[in-house]
Structure 1
Amino acid sequence: YNSKLHQSNLKLADKALAISPIHELILFNILQNSDGAKYSDILKFFSSFGVKTEISFRTIVKKLREEDIIYKGNLSSDYEQILKNILQNPKLEYPLTLSVREAYKKFQFLGYKFPSELMDFFKKLANKYPGFISLSPSKIGDASDLITFKEIFIDQIKFYKNNNWDLK
């Protein structure tokens, strides 16, 4: 095992997923030329330039955090609260999978007193937005105890350019 080689490979992997100004320009282009774009449309546009989904996702998250883009849609307040909380993660992995315990800590602001209440809430949310979230057991035959946020940006969301967009 060569730790220097491993460290070098990790650095190369980070560079491969780095967001460059060209990625921001691609996002700017689709938002400039549309009256709001769904996440799936943005992914298709990025892929036409050979850009991977993960880089597209990171570019959108970066521009949301910088307030260069905004999203609108007919969204439930529960979904909006969860989305805002997920986007605040400094290192956002996608798709995001949490255990019930992790989710209970992360989403305490929802006000549920017990993890079982939170799971009931997520079951309802999974029925309402099936592409957004899925519940699964960590062991075959057990009850669902893993929450996976699959499509963080549901199709009811449209992204728009914000007035303070700054291409650097």
Structure 2
Amino acid sequence: MAFFDLFRKKGSGPRPDGRADRGLLVFEHTSEVIRAEKVLKDSGREIRVMGPPPEIQKGCDLVVEFPLMEKLDVQRVLAGAGLSPLEIVPVTGPLLAPVDLFQVKDFGDHLMVRAANMKLTVDKQTLVIVNVSGGGCPDVPYIAARLIGQRLGEGPAPREIGHTLCGYALDLAYEEMVRRCSP
């Protein structure tokens, strides 16, 4: 561990010596982000899909955050899958920090997780999905009909039955809800 790392808060951005710990992969289309996430996770990488910082005005509404130290290997893995990011940006300051995709609201008896424009709400006692809302993609009503009334973790995950950005965002909300509701 470097001397400066002793005084750094986890996830606080670049180190005092100016070196960034994390990088962002910027892609043109959401489908590329989804493929990159799968390829990188399958290769054992610790990555997160996040919202892009406001300073990055190109590409889609998602970025992949990765350990910058692994940049060359990440590029090699992506190239092997036929993926090429528009840009690889080091997180060099708080203004370039990616935005967390999740917003959580506790309604007392119910808990709602929002990811991008999709919301998933469960009954906190029974863990039954009581509402799915948001998005404008054609598969949202079908996904909602399949999920509402199901206990969290039982039945299909949104990614298994949806095929659009809304289905992907709902799956992120679903996975976050599972994580938050696990004992």
More strand by share: 2
- Quick check: which one's helix share is greater? 1
Structure with the bigger RCO (C-alpha within 8 Å, sep 6+) is 1
TM-score by length of 2: 0.29
Q: What's the TM-score, normalizing by structure 1?
A: 0.30
